Chains A and B, each alone.
Chain A
Amino acid sequence: MSPTDPPTGRPGDVFAAPLHDGAPLLRVDGLRKSFGDNQVLKSIDLSVDRGDVVALIGPSGSGKTTVLRCLNGLEVPDGGTVDVAGELHLDFASPLSRKQVAALRDRSAMVFQHYHLFPHMTVLQNVIEGPVQVQRRHREEVVTEAEALLARVGLADKRDSHPAELSGGQQQRVGIVRALALRPQLLLFDEPTSALDPELVGDVLTVIKELADEGWTMLIVTHELAFAREVADQVVFMDEGYVVERGDPSVVLREPREERTRQFVRRLLSPF
């Protein structure tokens, strides 16, 4: 369960994603989750290939965010299986051990809708906290890497600022860097631009698109259909706890087969 090694082939490029060979990095089968009487996930199947970007779309309450939270161990599913990189296999039929939850978290990193940066720490401290305190990597090495990552998202001069001094777009870019610094195999984005002022959305989407181009494997919950169409390799439409339709963005977003998908896409593209 060591963090993914830095990439070969592009030495020194801290932004480079783990190598990919086209095999599925993540397989989810029959994932179920209820909150009390409310069955949020009825049966979710997903497959994310290495290096692919998968956009999870669907109406609010359809369970998209819950899927991400289950994959990061923030919720414990009631049933189903998750397989990461063919080396971590979790069956939620029986309760997970703490070690298994840690192993699951070790492979993914989450970017939250509301950033959830640590307000009592500087930008740099936010980024190095996980690698230094949890992964026990060398501080100097982590700081060098963190500074390079911050520079790549245009925040080199903010390393000693506190989150409260940053705009929403800047905070979210720090949130992305904090996730990258963990060197995860899979990046999870939970509506990364939904809390941002419209004029700040572009900066964050640009960063995510760059990551996609670098070959990072990402699962993104989003309402930005134009962005999904441009960046995603696969679009998954969820409704009422099921995956209704999935496939190439040009198909799912332009000529959906399912009536529910059609209605959703139409409503989002022309709300009036």
Chain B
Amino acid sequence: MNIDWHLVGTSLWPIVRGGLLGTIPLTLASFVAGLLIALVVALMRISGRAPLSAVARVYISVIRGTPLLVQLFVIFYGLPSVGVTLSPWPSAIIAFSLNVGGYAAEVIRAAILSVPKGQWEAAHTIGMSRRQALRRIILPQAARVSVPPLSNTFISLVKDTSLASLILVAELFRKAQEVAAFSQEFMVLYLEAAAVYWVFCLFLSAGQNLVEERLDRYVAH
């Protein structure tokens, strides 16, 4: 196989640009919104109130039991038939954040439950309400526990955003597809896209390690 190095060189910037302007903002926006959804859903799940907990459970079950691509298509191609038409970007952010919300909710719930019962009791003993105990004592400790699994969710999300290329979002993979369609050099361009994703994720993993080291310092073992 002859590699067209000139093509690799000229297509690199459009692909990286698609990553910087498409993949990364899409990932960040979806992850932040997804975490907020996840926190609410996790708290509903452990609220001890049956209706809230049931709604949360159904939500998590639907999100985890259906393909992300199908969720994306329902929102972008399905909703217009019930009168809700969304552009590619909002559709993608909604789909990805709902998806992250479902997965991260279980991570956050497990992290909250992993904080020893004695911490709740100590918080109550110094007079805290349930809400205060959660905010001041339990969630900060749960946050530390959930950093490694949530980092994995984040790195998965970076790669999952490539699905947004199928609803016309101009992200990294879409850019590679455009150049590939024009030049017919599929192998070169898709490997190039893979390499760019890989480099992005290498940076993220390094960042994850740094955060974990910092957080690990004062956690009781």
The chain A residues found within 8 Å of chain B, CB to CB, are: 72-74, 98, 102, 105-106, 109-110, 112, 114, 116-120, 129-130, 133-135, 162-164, 178-179, 182
Given contacts A120-B141, A120-B144, A134-B132, contact A163 B124 (CB under 8 A): no
Question: Of A73, A116, A164, which one neighbours B118 at CB under 8 angstroms?
Answer: A116
The chain B residues found within 8 Å of chain A, CB to CB, are: 116, 118-119, 121-129, 132, 136-137, 140-141, 144, 217-221
Question: Of A74, A118, A120, A162, which one neighbours B124 at CB under 8 angstroms?
Answer: A74
Contact yes or no, A112 B127, CB < 8 A:
no
Assembled-state Cα–Cα distance A162/B132 (Å): 21
> What is the distance, in angstroms, from A107's C-beta to the closest C-beta of chain B?
11
Contact yes or no, B121 A119, CB < 8 A:
no
Contact yes or no, A130 B118, CB < 8 A:
no
Collect the chain B residues with CB atoms within 8 Å of residue A135's CB. 127
> What is the distance, in angstroms, from A84's C-beta to the closest C-beta of chain B?
15
Collect the chain B residues with CB atoms within 8 Å of residue A130's CB. 126-128
Collect the chain A residues with CB atoms within 8 Å of residue B144's CB. 120
Query: Could you list some 11 contacts between A and B, CB below 8 A?
Result: A72-B124, A74-B125, A110-B122, A110-B125, A112-B121, A118-B141, A129-B126, A129-B136, A130-B128, A134-B126, A164-B218
Contact yes or no, B118 A162, CB < 8 A:
no
Contact yes or no, A164 B220, CB < 8 A:
yes
Given contacts A110-B125, A182-B126, contact A118 B119 (CB under 8 A): yes
Contact yes or no, B122 A119, CB < 8 A:
no
Contact yes or no, A119 B127, CB < 8 A:
no
Assembled-state Cα–Cα distance A154/B214 (Å): 29
Collect the chain A residues with CB atoms within 8 Å of residue B124's CB. 72-74, 105
> What is the distance, in angstroms, from B158's C-beta to the closest C-beta of chain A?
29
Residue of B nearest to A118 (CB): B137
Contact yes or no, B118 A114, CB < 8 A:
yes
Assembled-state Cα–Cα distance A61/B64 (Å): 44
